[in-house]
Chain A
Amino acid sequence: MALLAIIFSFDVHAQNLNATGQVTGKDDGLPVPGVSVTIKGTTQGVSTDVDGKFTISAPSGSKLVFTAVGYQTIEADAAGAPMKIVLPTSSNNLTEVTVVGVTIKKGDLTGSVGSVDEKVLKERPVTNVNQAIQGRVSGVLIQNNDPRPGGGSSIKIRGNNSIQFGSNPIYVVDGQVIEGGFNTINPDDVASVDILKDASATALYGSRGANGVVLITTKRAKKGEGKIDYNAWAGVQSFTRNIPYLNAQQIVDLRSDAYANRYIDENPGADRNAYIQSLLAPGGSAAFGAGELEVYRAGQSYNWLDQIRQTGIQQNHTMSFSKGSEDGSSAYVSFNYTDQKGLLKTSNYKRFGGQVNLDQKIKPWLKIGTNTNFTRTEERYIDGGVFNIASNANPLLPITDTIPYLSWKGIQSQDLYNPIRSLNIDGRGNQNRLLTTNYVVATPMPGLNIRSGFSVEARNQNYFNYVPRDLGQSLRNSTQGSATHRKENWMNWQWDNSVSYEKAYGKHNIQGALSFGLTKNDYDYNQVDAWGFATDDFSYKYLGGAFLKDRFVLGSDFVTNSLVSYVARFNYNYDNKYFATLTGRYDGSSRFGNGNKWGLFPSLALAYNIAREEFMQGSKLSTLKLRAGYGIAGNQNIPNFAYRSLYRPTFTNGSVTYVSDGRLGNPSLRWEKQKQLNVGVDLGILDNRITLNADYFIIHNDDLLMQRTLSATTGFTNRIDNVGSLLNKGLELNLNAQIINQKDLQWSFSANISSYRNRITKLYGNVDAIYNYGGFTGVEIQREGNLFLNKSLNSIYTYKFEKIAQESDMARTAQIDYGGRTIRPGDIIPVDVNGDNKIDDADRIVVGNTDPKFYGGFATDVSYKGFGLNAVFNYNVGGKRVNYLYESLLGGTGEYAAHEDELNRWTPTNTNTNIPRAYRGSGRYGAGETDYSVQSAAYLRLSALTVSYNFNGAFMKKAKMSNLRLYLTGSNLFTATGYKGYDPEGGDGYPTAKMIVAGVNVGF
């Protein structure tokens, strides 16, 4: 045996063979040109030709390594028979990213990073990046809470790490930090989204990375033949669900019941039916307007919402051109157009823009490049209150556009502007945004890079509005037509300079970088509110014609912020086995006062790639990497000049006076700091067909910046302070599996789950609670937004609902002082928490919180020959939500819109119910005063279901296309939830939309 081996090995060394073959892409089956084919352990290699073919002379028994940008690297035994090499697409299809000022290898991002590549982004036809990555990355909670056309999504990375200021991550687009307006980025231009979650990953942004960093890298041309791509889709939108409202007849029953209950309470033993008949007397009564009764008797019911709805239609087109050459120069140019017609009349959103990404080698040692994007958006708004007013309108009120206000009981309310007339409000917005990052990088010697980059964001946004003369809004305020112009400008620039050096000494690989950056943000706005127009014909366009000059309101402001940063970073790895990254960032910010401007943010990350150890060779584990990182990140997102008390002049009462803005300046304000520890493991088995990433984090947030309300006697209303500490812990898991991986049939599945818990560990001084005041008078303790020691930041604080009172409870409740309220059978009983027979402030408690217990998403992708079926699900378990809408519809008076659940309300004959009885009048507990309407916000949503077909080789060759894919996607097709509002994540302002989309991707 040994002998045989020796002979065999001798034989191997003795002979070379001519290995030939063809490389094709796994996804499209097309040849891949320009793939580097090297003999493992040597520097000898060739590239594949335009047909993906190669020939190389290699020792028999050697291995060939195939590498190409955008594909996973694979190895194969060299063979004389034609080799068929299928390259799977790389999930990290770009190997380097540009972070602020420095270009680094992705592999060097030692911390916790979640990535979404182009392929995944393609799976959902959406117009903004946040929507495209929803549910795809663990630890990232994206909520679509603005379902209007062009609306954005909220994003939270690893839960809350700041109390009030800057809970959003920063976005870095090709190295440029932007804040706000993320929906101008066209997902079709994005090559990858990397979400940096822990301190070592965000270390390069130390000062601003406390809430995570979303790194967006736009597409660059791949080497090889030029490409033309066209992506388009069009879809039809509708509401996912509507609230079941009571109709006119049911409202009459409810209101009669409510009045009669009151009447009988006050006149025990009186004739209930006779009283109800008297309420229904034709001329009107204390309970009903005469007009309402006419509608009632005619058996009519009116749906005002239908008057303002329409079918939403969306379309999106992107055309791109790209070509990359051998020397590293490349060009990518794209154009995009999006048009969305909203679900409510008059609302729409249009976006068009282009992207130019160029890289050019000037000298062998000098390269320049730019990533430049221009976007224009144009929007038309429907007035904010219209949906709410129309959906809650009185079904007993005949539809008409002649009245300025809607009414209940025949009483017009000046708060209820007729929604049909409100459609005449002309509200428009537009935005121009230029994002450009430009760099020059010199490589005077191998391994040494000197880079200077200059980025500019120039953005202006306009808002226009006109309220015609005869609308309720104008009558109420005596404006005779009012026009608003608001113009805002942002001018941000960023200049980063870095020196980095990289060198390998045997198995020691070192890399070091130093960088210095300046950032300046200028913002200004001006606003004019002009009143008094002779005609509506010119809408908002001719302010000069407005005559109520003494009532004009003018506003403007100019704000500048600046930031200086020094960064030093050192990477070391030994044989790609042991990794260490040490980063230090030192930042100075203009947002803090003298002496507190500077903050130091260090971090250290270690990783151990066990799979590369000798003893792991041959093991089924293809990846096994342990990671640990610790670091400090910062946050400076507080209102401008919060370290000072400010006074502004106002003209009132006949002269200019100085008025405080209510904020007490705090000269000792300093950076908020978050100490983050992250440990993680990456696991891959069966040649990485199954991969698992797990991360556990503990974040101690100290010196949290927040606004404290102050007691009135201080003379100020609030102060920004470095208050308290927050502890945040969590676990994240990501699983990817290629369950079936055959030539014709592939099935992959991915899932992620995240969980976090936060707890406030310290407030200022000995204080154990900070309350959030608001409401109509501004002095009521709100149910949300209060801070309690040792409780979640997102606590809900109110009285606890015990039950609906029954006759049998009367003896017990008679013993309790309900502070002016009376409880009768059918009413809500709150819990006397401390059992002192008195319901007072001490009985108000934290009844739960809005944090999900865990959340995430899963997706499955099946392809058979050209056919594909892809489904993306999102879920959220354990979160609670105060359903303000539902409780407002359970008032039980019948004097306002009501939920269908009122049909099951408590009556003496229907006592086994959780719906309070009808009642008109004061003195009982309303649903909103307890946690009655705190509902589970858990849900499972099929956010996208896509069927697609990829045309294959023969047809494509004929048509001279490199790829052609047709697909049909349903978005938000179903949502399983017990939540009774419009949507458990979108909230109750406006229903979430579902959409059926047909699309095409073509490449030449």
Chain B
Amino acid sequence: MALLIVLSGSCKKFIEEEPQTALTEEQVFSKLDNIEPLLLGLYTSWRNTKKDRGGFMFTLGSDEAQQGAYQVQTDDRQAGLDRYNGFLTASNTALAQQWDSRWPVIAAAARIIYSLSLNTEEGARKNTILGEASFIRAALDFEVSQYWGEIPLIDQAKFDEYGTRRQPLPLVYQTIISDLETAVQYLPETQSDKRRATKGAAIALLGKVYLYAPEASGARDYAKARDQFKLLVDGGRYQLVSNYADLWDPSKPNSTESIYEFQFNNTYPDNNQTQWQMGSRSLAEIDQYCYFGGYDLMVPTQYCYSDAGNGGIWENGDLRKNESIRYDFTYKGRTPTLNPSFGGDELDPHVKKYEDPRTDGMLSFWLSGKNIFYMRYADVLLCYAETLNETGSTSQGVDLVNNTIRKRAWGGTLPAANMWNAGMSAAEFRTNILDERMRELCFEGWRRMDLIRTGKLVDLVKQRNKWTKQSGTIQAFHNRYPIPLQEIKQNDDIEESDQNPGYLNN
């Protein structure tokens, strides 16, 4: 009996087992030494939403890009993103995947922010981390809200109040702006670790939020947006690189033009598979290690690859055209022929910006891994010009575009014939700047938001996207994506009736 009593004391210890190869949540959030690597993990998770197939789902169904014909023929649900038909519904898995990949990042950022409020360690490091976590949460809240509208707000401190239900747009944008103000306050001007966000990135994003916020949020404010962009322009830290082609040269990453870019390389899991999605199947058929081979997930629309004379956007002499889009498919002296059983557009112009010549002949294009821009200074300049136009300074905006973006596009000297007329109306400017944004920023991920905020999505996509036009079913409600069915089913705070209007819950 005595033995049993002795044993039961040691038994208590006997069944205490701790994880030997993982940190518990308590350990991770208890000190900055652990929170910081967690934060770096969030940068990586955020980056990973931009890679591979998933990274381009929002650009499909726009007026600059669409799916390749073979892909449209083989996957109805993904094709729904271009066709805007009955497959674009709550059960669209291509979209649900995007929704699902973003929330864990938002929620973890929120946990970091909350744990920092309880942390008693001294020093500037805590504030930097707070700024970074706030930046990441804002960037993702902004993106998700642009596409889905009202979204849940994840805030540990206010969990009882907010729950996980969709919040009204004014509150959503107020929260995004407040996060970005925190980021601007605490982020450093520069970061030696290029994965990490800087104050400039926070300012640029804050400007964009004021510009892109839906009218219904009450947060759209051209003057405030202009002031943020002006800070960067006046600050002089960021410069356009003189040669547009250098932007796409993998040996010249993180240039002066880069405000924030996602860091990749050619080694799994830090490759981005982007070329696999952008390249041509006809080249993959010839050589699996051809750096512009791939599987045609996303190809430019005819509007996006054609010259102005043929109803497209490209003017003579614009150097950006051949840097952004591949027209010539000759590879090592071989000219591919179109396999008749392919989709038919495999040798039409393809996206060139993501080609990674480092893989050529050595690695599968699946291992392509060039950095991908989140924001670059050219975008800031164009946004700035736009806010100038919207705040009554159209001619100033025209000058800015002529002297920076377009000047570079023509190699440093903009021919008079290609100069924008400083006397154009504000309305003309709006039309022109939308095209200019396509020429400068095509396939970089901002197009859908540009179309949504300018109210042009339905009109322009119907005209310019081959599959949307063919289907003829796009409607105003498509300015938002449907809330994924499994979110509705699993989230007690979101009911079927909370679905965005126009969508079936199937």
Q: Is the CB of A665 within 8 A of B25?
A: yes
Which stretch of B80-88, B173-181, B324-332 is in the interface? B80-88
- Measured CB to CB, the nearest residue on chain A to B86 is A820
- Measured CB to CB, the nearest residue on chain B to A822 is B86
Fill in one digit per residue for A692-714: 1 if any B CB lies within 8 Å of its CB, else 0.
00000000000000000111111
Q: Is the CB of A655 within 8 A of B37?
A: yes
Instruction: Give chain A residues whose Cβ lies under 8 Å from the Cβ of B494.
Output: 711
Q: Is the CB of A590 within 8 A of B15?
A: yes
A711 vs B154: C-alpha distance in the bound complex, in angstroms? Answer: 13
Q: Which of A409, A647, A769, A922 lies in contact with B341, CB distance below 8 A?
A: A409
Fill in one digit per residue for B103-142: 1 if any A CB lies within 8 Å of its CB, else 0.
1101110110000000000000000000000000000000
Instruction: Give chain B residues whose Cβ lies under 8 Å from the Cβ of A653.
Output: 40, 43-44, 47, 195, 263, 270
State the interface size on chain B (CB cutoff 8 A).
Answer: 89
Q: Does B171 contact A (CB under 8 A)?
A: no
Q: Which of A550, A551, A778, A841 lies in contact with B97, CB distance below 8 A?
A: A778
Within 8 A of B (CB), among A741-797: 765, 767, 769, 771, 773, 775-781
Instruction: Give chain B residues whose Cβ lies under 8 Å from the Cβ of A516.
Output: 4, 7
Q: Is the CB of A711 within 8 A of B93?
A: no
Which stretch of B222-230, B395-403, B412-420, B484-492 is in the interface? B484-492
Q: Is the CB of B366 within 8 A of A477?
A: yes
Fill in one digit per residue for A644-660: 1 if any B CB lies within 8 Å of its CB, else 0.
11111110111111111
Q: Which of A518, A645, A779 lies in contact with B24, CB distance below 8 A?
A: A645
Q: Which of B21, B24, B363, B492 lies in contact with A478, CB distance below 8 A?
A: B363
Q: Is the CB of B487 within 8 A of A476?
A: no
Q: Is the CB of B104 within 8 A of A715?
A: yes
Q: Does B301 contact A (CB under 8 A)?
A: no
Q: Does A716 contact B (CB under 8 A)?
A: yes
Q: How far is the CB of B448 from chain A (nearest CB, A)?
A: 20
Fill in one digit per residue for B19-34: 1 if any A CB lies within 8 Å of its CB, else 0.
1111111011000001
Q: Is the CB of B269 within 8 A of A654?
A: no
Q: Is the CB of B21 within 8 A of A840?
A: no
Q: Which of B97, B341, B506 lies in contact with A779, CB distance below 8 A?
A: B97
Known A653-B270, A841-B91, A841-B506; contact A779-B486, beta-carbon cutoff 8 A: yes
- Measured CB to CB, the nearest residue on chain B to A474 is B364
Q: Is the CB of A922 within 8 A of B23?
A: no
Instruction: Give chain A residues whose Cβ lies under 8 Å from the Cβ of B79.
Output: 922
Q: Is the CB of B340 within 8 A of A652?
A: no
Q: Does B477 contact A (CB under 8 A)?
A: no
Q: Is the CB of A658 within 8 A of B93?
A: no
Instruction: Give chain B residues whose Cβ lies under 8 Å from the Cβ of A713.
Output: 103, 106-107, 152, 154, 164, 487, 491
Q: Which of B17, B41, B341 lies in contact with A560, CB distance below 8 A?
A: B17
Q: Is the CB of A819 within 8 A of B89?
A: yes
Instruction: Give chain B residues whose Cβ lies under 8 Å from the Cβ of A285.
Output: 340-341
Q: Does A821 contact B (CB under 8 A)?
A: yes
Q: Does B99 contact A (CB under 8 A)?
A: yes
Q: Does B215 contact A (CB under 8 A)?
A: no
Q: Is the CB of B366 within 8 A of A476?
A: yes
Q: Does A72 contact B (CB under 8 A)?
A: no
- Measured CB to CB, the nearest residue on chain B to A717 is B104
Instruction: Give chain A residues whose Cβ lies under 8 Å from the Cβ of B281.
Output: 411
Q: How far is the CB of A711 from chain B (nearest CB, A)?
A: 4
Q: Does A19 contact B (CB under 8 A)?
A: no
Known A477-B366, A771-B489, A777-B97; contact A649-B37, beta-carbon cutoff 8 A: yes
- Measured CB to CB, the nearest residue on chain A to B362 is A478
Instruction: Give chain B residues whose Cβ lies under 8 Å from the Cβ of A590.
Output: 15-17
Fill in one digit per residue for A537-580: 1 if any B CB lies within 8 Å of its CB, else 0.
00000000000001100001111111110000000000000000
Q: Does A986 contact B (CB under 8 A)?
A: no
A556 vs B484: C-alpha distance in the bound complex, in angstroms? Answer: 36
A486 vs B4: C-alpha distance in the bound complex, in angstroms? Answer: 42
Q: Does A21 contact B (CB under 8 A)?
A: no
A659 vs B364: C-alpha distance in the bound complex, in angstroms? Answer: 28
Instruction: Give chain A residues whose Cβ lies under 8 Å from the Cβ of B267.
Output: 550-551
Instruction: Give chain A residues whose Cβ lies under 8 Å from the Cβ of B454.
Output: none
Q: Does A27 contact B (CB under 8 A)?
A: no
Q: Is the CB of A411 within 8 A of B97?
A: no
- Measured CB to CB, the nearest residue on chain B to A843 is B506
A774 vs B152: C-alpha distance in the bound complex, in angstroms? Answer: 24
Fill in one digit per residue for B485-506: 1 if any A CB lies within 8 Å of its CB, else 0.
1110111101000000000111
- Measured CB to CB, the nearest residue on chain B to A665 is B25
Q: Is the CB of A657 within 8 A of B487?
A: no
A910 vs B25: C-alpha distance in the bound complex, in angstroms? Answer: 64
Instruction: Give chain B residues whose Cβ lies under 8 Å from the Cβ of A709.
Output: 486, 490
- Measured CB to CB, the nearest residue on chain A to B17 is A590
Q: Is the CB of B21 within 8 A of A557?
A: yes
- Measured CB to CB, the nearest residue on chain A to B99 is A712
Q: Does B459 contact A (CB under 8 A)?
A: no
Instruction: Give chain A residues whose Cβ lies under 8 Å from the Cβ of B45.
Output: 659
Q: Does B435 contact A (CB under 8 A)?
A: no
Known A477-B364, A645-B24, A819-B87; contact A640-B19, beta-carbon cutoff 8 A: yes
Q: Is the CB of A562 within 8 A of B506?
A: no
Q: Does B94 contact A (CB under 8 A)?
A: yes
Q: Is the CB of B270 within 8 A of A658?
A: no
A654 vs B4: C-alpha distance in the bound complex, in angstroms? Answer: 54
- Measured CB to CB, the nearest residue on chain A to B72 is A922
Q: How far is the CB of A484 from chain B (nearest CB, A)?
A: 15
Q: How far is the CB of A820 from chain B (nearest CB, A)?
A: 2
Instruction: Give chain A residues whose Cβ lies under 8 Å from the Cβ of B7.
Output: 516
Instruction: Give chain B residues whose Cβ lies under 8 Å from the Cβ of A152.
Output: none
A329 vs B367: C-alpha distance in the bound complex, in angstroms? Answer: 68
Q: Does A921 contact B (CB under 8 A)?
A: yes
Q: Which of B21, B106, B342 lies in contact with A715, CB distance below 8 A?
A: B106
Q: Is the CB of B107 within 8 A of A716?
A: yes
Within 8 A of A (CB), among B249-273: 263, 267-270
- Measured CB to CB, the nearest residue on chain A to B74 is A922
Known A641-B19, A653-B195, A657-B44; contact A476-B288, beta-carbon cutoff 8 A: yes
Known A653-B47, A712-B100; contact A644-B41, beta-carbon cutoff 8 A: no
- Measured CB to CB, the nearest residue on chain A to B104 is A715
Q: Does B323 contact A (CB under 8 A)?
A: no
Q: Is the CB of A410 within 8 A of B93?
A: no
Fill in one digit per residue for B427-461: 1 if any A CB lies within 8 Å of its CB, else 0.
00000000000000000000000000000000000
Instruction: Give chain B residues whose Cβ lies under 8 Å from the Cβ of A839.
Output: 506
Instruction: Give chain B residues whose Cβ lies under 8 Å from the Cβ of A74.
Output: none
Q: Is the CB of A781 within 8 A of B486?
A: yes
- Measured CB to CB, the nearest residue on chain A to B21 is A557
Q: Does B11 contact A (CB under 8 A)?
A: yes
Instruction: Give chain B residues whose Cβ lies under 8 Å from the Cβ of A95.
Output: none
Q: Which of A478, A564, A662 lies in contact with B104, CB distance below 8 A?
A: A662
Q: Which of B103, B108, B288 lies in contact with A712, CB distance below 8 A?
A: B103
Q: Does B313 contact A (CB under 8 A)?
A: no
- Measured CB to CB, the nearest residue on chain A to B102 is A712
Q: Is the CB of A411 within 8 A of B491?
A: no
A817 vs B7: C-alpha distance in the bound complex, in angstroms? Answer: 70
- Measured CB to CB, the nearest residue on chain B to A477 is B364
Q: Does B322 contact A (CB under 8 A)?
A: no
Within 8 A of B (CB), among A394-448: 409-412, 414
Q: List 11 A-B contacts (CB under 8 A).
A: A478-B364, A478-B366, A518-B14, A562-B17, A654-B270, A658-B38, A713-B106, A779-B484, A819-B506, A820-B85, A922-B76
20 new A-B contacts, CB < 8 A, other than A289-B341, A648-B22, A922-B74, are A284-B339, A288-B341, A411-B342, A476-B364, A562-B15, A563-B15, A588-B11, A590-B17, A640-B19, A641-B22, A650-B41, A652-B270, A713-B106, A713-B164, A716-B104, A778-B100, A779-B93, A819-B87, A820-B76, A922-B73
Report which B residues bind A (CB closer than 8 A): 4, 7, 11-12, 14-17, 19-25, 27-28, 34, 37-38, 40-41, 43-45, 47, 73-76, 79-80, 83, 85-91, 93-94, 96-97, 99-100, 102-104, 106-108, 110-111, 152, 154, 164, 193, 195, 263, 267-270, 281, 285, 288-289, 339-342, 362-364, 366-367, 484-487, 489-492, 494, 504-506
Q: What 3 A-B pairs are tightest by C-beta distance, nearest first?
A: A715-B107, A820-B86, A840-B506
